[in-house]
Amino acid sequence: MAFLIERNKILLYDTHIQNGHVSYEYIKKALDSDHKYLGLQIDPLKMEEPLCKACVKGKISRAPIRKERISNRAVNFGDILHMDLWGPSLVHAPGGLQYTFTILDEATGWLHEPKMRTKDEAFGRFVAWQSQCFTQNGIHIKMVHSDHGGEFLSKDFTNFLEKEGIV
């Protein structure tokens, strides 16, 4: 019977698709202790957050959190990313992941939110995100915006942005 229960568990990604492309973060926040969302049981071991191609193409009309826009130029995914850093959190997260690095795509409202142990992991997380966007979806990140430049943008980070031609 345990086998059958396992088979009925679904992926976080499937839940995203089956619920009108609601964001991963929304689903995760709505999960109760049984890992159920709208009656669907989501396997805690299958919480990968692949970039959704439909969302990237902006074919799905969603209602992202509207931040104040800094320009009208963000038309495509990757045109302008807004980065911010949150933490340290008061609640001790598993594995000491006390910082959250938010990368919000202005054009689509897509939110990528890696958790980190220290602020200086932001550089590696950004490089990984940039690689994933390009390799999986051919997306070029063109501009990044942050109010906390000196706080977490290391010299390695800014050098990398310059090398990649990212403003």
CB nearer to Zn ion: give 55 or 116.
55
Least distance in angstroms from the C-beta of 77 to Zn ion = 12
Position closest to Zn ion via CB: 52
Please choose, from the candidates 100, 38, 106, 77, the residue with its C-alpha nearest in 3D space to the C-alpha of residue 14: 38
CB nearer to Zn ion: give 58 or 87.
58
CB nearer to Zn ion: give 24 or 99.
24
Q: How many residues bind Zn ion (CB under 5 A)?
A: 4
Least distance in angstroms from the C-beta of 21 to Zn ion = 3
**Binding span for Zn ion by CB under 5 A among 15-23, 29-37, 64-72, 123-131:** 15-23
Kindly identify the residues of this chain, within the stretch 43-82, that bind Zn ion according to CB under 5 A: 52, 54-55
Exactly one of 9, 10, 21, 51 binds Zn ion (CB under 5 A); that residue is: 21
CB nearer to Zn ion: give 55 or 144.
55
Task: Kindly report the three-state secondary structure assignment for every residue of the chain.
Answer: CHHHHHHHCECHHHHHHHCCCCCHHHHHHHCCCCCEECCEEECCCCCCCCCCHHHHCCCCCCCCCCCCCCCCCCCCCCCEEEEEEECCCCCCCHHHCCEEEEEEECCCCCEECCEECCHHHHHHHHHHHHHHHHHHHCCCCCEEEECCHHHHCCHHHHHHHHHHCCC
Binding residues (CB under 5 A) for Zn ion: these are 21, 52, 54-55
